[in-house]
Amino acid sequence: MRKIFISSDHAGFTLKKKIVNYLVKKKLSFKDLGPFSVKSVDYPIYAHKLANNVKKNKKNVGILICGSGTGMNIAANKHRNIRAAQCFSVKSTKLSRLHNDANVITLGARLISKNNALKYISVFLNTKFEGGRHLRRVKKI
């Protein structure tokens, strides 16, 4: 069974709360790994915590939110078998799943609207990896 893990830093906390509400409304199974306030935190701690949980099962996916999406993306991609994609449009999100089999989406809370974030998450969670020639390429990562 697929599990969704979600985490943020302080800059992404407010958007994370909105995404959590969306996940609850959609009745999706998820685990919030923190933080649980807007108190300043170091984003790598939360990116590593999420990556360690996602990689326990091939079906798991993760959602990371920070101010720009970049810091979380860099930290998560340090982990073997994590393919984090920083998404900034429906198309970038869809291609991250179709072609790259991304298992973590990273979002920039200071760069995208709540409505767009929810659209990207919906696309991310509902788009399947195409495989084929893309599988050959993903295996080379």
DSSP per-residue string spanning 106-139: EEETTTS-HHHHHHHHHHHHHPPP--THHHHHHH
Distance of alpha carbon 97 from alpha carbon 94, whole angstroms:
5
Do 53 and 60 touch, CB atoms closer than 8 A? yes
| 99 assigned to active site | yes
Q: How many residues does the chain have?
A: 141
Do 134 and 101 touch, CB atoms closer than 8 A? yes
Distance of alpha carbon 11 from alpha carbon 95, whole angstroms:
26
Q: Which of 48, 79, 99, 134 is catalytic?
A: 99
Catalytic residue list: 99
